[in-house]
Amino acid sequence: MNKKYMMFGLLGLFAVAMVSAGYLVSSFYFTVGVAEPFAVQYAVLGDSGDYDPLEDGYCSDAGVEWFTAGDENIPTGDMFPGESRKLCVKIVNEGESEIRYDVTSKITEGLSNYVACEKAFPEVTLTGDAPNGETIDGLAFTVPGDAPVVSDCEVGIEVTRG
């Protein structure tokens, strides 16, 4: 007999819990992701001696030869101490919001001549904001006058967002 009273008590408690929990009228779910908003291209201005904007142009000039990561025909070649080049970056932001970016040049780790390469081509960072559409930015870099003679340095350019 006590079990029946206990059962009615539990049913009453369950009924009160259901009423206070609410009644689900409707719900829905959606699947969403995050797409990469940046498409990036690069250009290197200046090919001998110092970068001269009057001679070698500006990053935003028509006729600048842009390339993407993975292209085989990246302009390279040895530089002498004191010489400079201009690294240009074109970022196309397909998103509607302005997004912060950093462009960093770094020597690839693991090179046998890592320390000498790092002295010849010190790390440089360029920071800005990319609104919707095309943003062109650039940074002149110069080989220090006391740079050691070195070859086969691999300089990596990284573009990060956020």
- The domain of 60 spans 38-161
Judge whether 85 lies within some domain.
Answer: yes
Judge whether 19 lies within some domain.
Answer: no
Residue 26's pLDDT is 92
Nearest-angstrom CA–CA distance, 157 and 90: 13
Residues 6+ positions from 43 with CB-CB distance below 8 Å: 59, 64, 65, 66, 67, 87, 88, 90
Locate 104 and state its tokens.
Answer: 């960093």
**Which residue's entry shows tokens 């990319």?**
130
Judge whether 26 lies within some domain.
Answer: no
What residue type is 99 in one-letter code? I
pLDDT in tens, 132-149: 999 999 988 889 999 999
Which residue(s) pair with 39 in the sheet?
A: 92
Other C-beta atoms within 10 Å of 136: how many? 17
Average pLDDT, the chain: 87
Span of 11-25, 51-65, 145-159 with lowest mean pLDDT: 11-25
| CATH number assigned to the domain comprising residue 145 | 2.60.40
Residue 126's pLDDT is 94
Residues 6+ positions from 67 with CB-CB distance below 8 Å: 41, 42, 43, 73, 74
pLDDT in tens, 41-81: 999 888 767 788 888 889 999 989 899 987 766 667 789 99
